[in-house]
Structure 1
Amino acid sequence: MTLDLRVYRSRATSHAQATGLFGQVLGHEPVSAPGSGLTAAYWVSRIGPVPPGSGLTATTARLELMGRLLMPADTEPPDEVDLAVTDAVDALVTAYTGDLDFGDSVRNVDVLGAHGAPLQAQFGYATFQGGTTYRVATLTIPLIINDAWGQAYG
């Protein structure tokens, strides 16, 4: 088995689209303001080995997929912004914990963080060029992939 970002990202974005909450679902981290409404964006943050899951012939991998949910902070009414972003996080965490093997493409979503950071969201703000400020929630979606890389002596 090899790492297949297309499959993992497709699975993550499909879950986001299925919620019906997002005006846009992107397969990359936005470098400019994505516009109005709720947007979801996905990209890779880290890739590395999982020693406890690896053997003498193959290495298990941990791929950390990031999902950022963005909504303009000046959306009216302002009291609804955090509610909308939090509801979207809840919908995605529910979807990812309900599809632990990402359609049989990974061993599991590391929900509880057995091999690093768990499935989680951190909230904050992001400002893009031009001064547009967004309320954001950045999800860490840790994926464990069995036998990603073969091991052999040359």
Structure 2
Amino acid sequence: MALDINGIVDAVISHAMASGYFERVNGHEPQNAPGNGLTAAVWVDGITPVRTSGLGSASARLVFNVRLYTPMVQEPADAIDPNLTAATDALMRAYVGDFQLGGTVRQVDVFGQHGAALEARAGYIQQDGALLRVITITLPVIVNDLWDEVA
């Protein structure tokens, strides 16, 4: 079985789009500073086999970064973090609630059974001379039986 990366990425992106919080949702890490409002971007961070694989095939842990961006120069400044946090909450709720991402994965690894758990971390990045407030969600998912073990 091959990794259905397009189906999985589409499922991750569709939750962001359905939340209603974002002006744009990218399936890649942006090369330029996003515009005004909230932007979400999704990209793969890593792939590793997991120990719960079967005897004839290996399952994998696929980790996504889901980064939420907004400019730091906007008014009211007091709304920046609450807006990002509300959008983060909506996505975390969606990923936990649809823990099989529409049947494309075995599970979202919510509690970190196979590594780092689902989490969100806030920070700042500088891009194209613009300071952006960001929250990066680490979204680990487990995909069953990706690679056949052949003697």
The alignment's TM-score, normalised by the length of structure 1, stands at: 0.96
Q: How does 1:3-152 map to 2 (within 5 A)?
A: 3-51=3-51, 53-129=52-128, 131-152=129-150
Residue 43 of structure 1 deviates from its aligned partner by: 0.2
SS in 2 for 1:147: strand
Cα RMSD, aligned residues only: 0.7
Equivalent position amino acid for 1:85 in 2: L
Gaps of 5+ in 2: none
Corresponding residue pairs, total: 151
Gaps of 5+ in 1: none
Residue 13 of structure 1 deviates from its aligned partner by: 0.7
CA displacement 1:72-130 (0-9 Å, x = unmatched): 0112111100000000100000001110111111100000110011111110001112x
Residue 54 of structure 1 deviates from its aligned partner by: 1.0
Residue 56 of structure 1 deviates from its aligned partner by: 2.2
Residue 67 of structure 1 deviates from its aligned partner by: 0.3
Equivalent-residue separation in structure 2 for 1:73 and 1:66 (angstroms): 21
Residue 5 of structure 1 deviates from its aligned partner by: 1.3
Residue 31 of structure 1 deviates from its aligned partner by: 1.4
CA displacement 1:24-43 (0-9 Å, x = unmatched): 00000011101110000000
SS in 2 for 1:112: coil
Equivalent position amino acid for 2:106 in 1: R
